[in-house]
Every structure is written in C-alpha cells, then in structure tokens.
Amino acid sequence: MSHLMNTYARLPVAFERGEGSWLWDLQGRRYLDALAGVAVCGLGHAHPRLTRALQKQVATLIHTSNIYEIDLQSKLADRLAAISGMETVFFCNSGCEANEAAIKLARLYGHKKGIEAPAIVVMEQSFHGRTMATLTATGSRKVQAGFEPLLSGFVRAPFDDLEAVRRVAAGNRSVVAVLVELVQGEGGVNVCSPEYLNGLREICDQNEWLLMLDEVQTGTGRTGKWFAYQHSGVQPDVVTLAKGLGNGVPIGTCMAAGVAATLFTAGKHGSTFGGNPLACAAGLETLAIIEEDGLMQNAVEIGDYIRGELRAHLSGIPGVKDVRGVGMMVGVELAFPCGELVTRALAAGLLINVTNDTVVRLLPPLIYTREEARMLLDMLVPLIQEYVAEQTAAGTPQAASHAA
C-alpha cells in the first residue's frame, strides 16, 4: 500500500532524467514531451543556462524571508513590470495562490467602494485552481463536487459572451470585477474571439469593475507574446502568472495596475516562500532565455505548423470536431471521450494530455524544433485516426466533423 495520499490518477511511468524536449524513464526508455509539465517547462528539461543559474543561486542563498529585503525579488518585479505594463507585483508559489490574491484584491476594492458583499464575474468552463476560493471561481462542477458549501461572491457567465456579461452588469450592483482566462486551458483549449477582451475592458470601465486576467497557463510566452492580452491593445487591472515563470521552480505572481496596485498594504496578504531568492533567480533567468533565444517567435511558428498539419491530416474525418489553439497551446476536439489516447500515446513514447474529456491538449516546450514537431505529428496523427475509426466502428455517438 502506498503512503501517498490518493489525489492523482497517475500514469504507470516514472522519469529519471530529462534533456530539452525529451524525458527518460527508470528503464531508460525515451519519450517526446508534448505537455511540458502542463505548460511549466517552456525551456524544456535541464536547460544548461538555467541549470548554471540555479546551481549558483543554491550555492549562494536559497531562502530568507519576506520580513527582509530580497534584492532578486525587486529585480524580478521590475522585469515583470517592464514586460507587462503593470505597476506592482506580489510573489507566491503557484497559480491558485496568485488567483487567491486577485480575488482578495477584488474584495478589498469592493469594500473600498462601500459594497458589503462584493462579487466577481467568472466564466463557465474556466479553471482557476483547487483552493476553496479558486475552485468556487472555477466553472467545472467536477472540480467543485464534494467540497460544498462553496464560497459566495461569484457570478457565472458563458465564456466569450459579451452580452451575458452586460446582462450581469445591468442586474447586479454588487459586482466589482471580472476574472477570466483568454484561452481556457483546462476547459478544452477554448480561445476567445478577438473582440472579447476589448468588450470586457469597455464593460469594466463603464461599471468601474477591475479587469482581472488569469494568465497562469497562457503567460510567459506560451501564446507567442509575454502575455495573451498583448495580442490586443487592452491593458488589464490585475494579471496572475505562474507555471512557466520558473521553468519548474515553484513561483507565482499577482500583478496590479492603477487603483488595484494600491489596495494591498502591509499585513493584508503574504507568503512564506513566495519570491525567495531561488525562485526569483529562476524567474529572471527564464525570462532572459525566452527573450534572447527568440522562443516566443518559435512558439508562433512551431505552434502554427503543428495546428496546420493536424488540420491537414484530420480534416473531414467524422468524429474530429475541431483543431484550435494559439502559439504552443493546441487542442484537438473529438466528438467522444478520448482519455484512452493518453495511455496509447505513452505506449508510443509520446506525452500528451486530454482535458474536458474530449480534447487532446498539447503544450510542448517553447524550444521545440521543426524536427521534434514532425516527430510529434508522426506519432499522434495515426493514434487519433485509429482511435476515431474504432469509435466509429463501435457506433459511438458522434457529431459531424468540422475540422478546419
């Protein structure tokens, strides 16, 4: 009997080492990584430059405390402010902690406006974490089930539906903010329309709401920009970030601008480990490598290539509903549950993920080469084709194909 608490449905593989876009298991078998620790390892594994920076920092100073000045934390905050246009940065350890900080900022903002029970608009099919506040904000009954009573203070709207948010604005005076992912990762790699963010900014400005963006998965270059909102001209009030910032070293941030940047004062929020010297050294080096090695442009070029090839090979196949995504976020939606593809891909030496039951999700490292992308396609396309053919032959209910 394992002494590990039963919180994960683990796959039957353990990895011993990694290099670039590849991982090796305990038996020495090699796997192509198309998941990157769920969008964490954008630089791949054992990046030589990051390794040297971390070794140097470990040998110098790992942790002090936020009751003292931390020089590397100030430097990383300055760097994040410069690339994001935000004004202040709070450091924590994970995405859900970053979103917790954003939720607390919204509530402080509401109370400052004299609203006793401030509410936040959140979206269906969203995912913001597994703490009590963030799982309440999450738009998935599967995540929430069994943890009732959930917290109050959230109003839900359909994703990418501006009229629904306008109806909320017209009917609820307690709303103070919107919290939204521009690409829903866990929800099925759902990409919002180009006009959505501009519309949300307009609604927030008209109603004096905070526009809060969850960039935990989309941030740090994964969509081809430092942040997904930078594909538009919109500047948010609050942005959360985590996953790819430390390339595997735990770090999260909640960044704020304007009135939101003034809400936290000493004692209102904190973190024991957040922004310690090791985490900030990882963040600074990761950002430097992404910029100097042109990895955001690579994410655009390789991501477009992968989606284009998937559309070319899967278009018109009954049971394949859509191929979508942006940058190094790729989703292939089937007309039926496809979790079994994860174990079939593993057997073929490929690491992928299935989210929202029916969407094959790919989150490769930003360093992928064209050759590695070709290898991914050579392994994945036949798996999907065979699986869809099996489901079709078995008479599994399916919708018509609409692959672009």
How many other CB atoms are there within 10 angstroms of residue 340's CB atom? 13
Catalytic-role residue among 33, 160, 214, 237: 214
Catalytic-role residue among 91, 127, 227, 264: 127
Is 127 one of the catalytic residues? Answer: yes
What is the β-pairing status of strands 350-351 and 154-157?
Answer: unpaired
3-state secondary structure 181-234: CCEECCCCCEECCHHHHHHHHHHHHHHCCEEEEECCCCCCCCCCCCCHHHHCCC
CA angle 100, 362, 184 (to 5 degrees): 35
Is 214 one of the catalytic residues? Answer: yes
Specify the length of the chain in residues. Answer: 404
Q: Helix axis angle, 370-393 relative to 340-347, nearest 10°?
A: 130
Assigned token pair, 213: 């963006």
Is 225 one of the catalytic residues? Answer: no
| DSSP structure class, residue 150 | P
| Alpha helices in 4-46, H assignment, sequence order | 36-39
The CA radius of gyration of the chain, in Å to the nearest whole number, is 21
- Helix (H) or strand (E) holding 53, with range, is helix 48-58
How many other CB atoms are there within 10 angstroms of residue 7's CB atom? 7
| DSSP structure class, residue 235 | -
**Burial label, 173 (beta-carbon count in 10 A; 0-12, 13-18, 19+):** exposed
Closest Cα to residue 242, out of 30, 69, 96, 389?
A: 96
The DSSP string of 267-322 is TS---SSTT-HHHHHHHHHHHHHHHHTTHHHHHHHHHHHHHHHHHHHHTT-TTEEE
Q: How far is CA 99 from CA 65, 242, 354, in A?
A: 22, 10, 24
Please give the positions annotated as active site: 127, 214, 243
